[in-house]
Amino acid sequence: MNWEAVSAIGQVVGAVAVVISLVYLAAQIRDNTRSTRSATRQSIVDSIVSVNLAMAQSDAIARALRSNLDGRPLAPHEALQQLAHCYACMRTWENVHFQYRSGMLSDEDWSGFRQNVKALMQVPAFRDFWEREREVFSQAFRREVTAVLREIPASPVLERSLLFEKKRAP
DSSP state string for 37-70: HHHHHHHHHHHHHHHHHHHHH-HHHHHHHHHHHT
Q: Is 124 exposed, middle or buried (0-12, 13-18, 19+ CB in 10 A)?
A: middle
The pLDDT score that the predictor gives to residue 162 is: 40
pLDDT recorded at residue 155: 56
pLDDT of residue 144: 97
**Residue 163, pLDDT score:** 43
What percentage of the chain has pLDDT greater than the value 70? 89
CA pair distance 63, 19, nearest whole angstrom: 63
What's the mean pLDDT in 51-79?
Answer: 81
Residues 6 or more apart whose Cβ sits within 8 Å of residue 64: 74, 78, 79, 81, 82, 85, 125
The answer to whether the pTM exceeds 0.85 is no
Mean pLDDT of 49-74: 80
Domain boundaries, the chain: 40-151
pLDDT band at residue 160 using 50, 70 and 90 as cut-offs:
very low
Which tens digits make up the pLDDT trace of 2-32? 888 778 888 888 888 888 888 888 888 777 7
Please tell me the predicted confidence (pLDDT) of residue 156.
47
Q: Is the pLDDT of residue 166 over 60?
A: no
Give SS3 for 122: coil
The mean pLDDT of 33-61, rounded to a whole number, is 77
Check residue 168 and give its pLDDT. 45
Could you report the per-residue pLDDT of 100-111, keeping only the tens digit for each? 999 888 899 999
- The residue that leads in pLDDT, 16 or 34, is 16
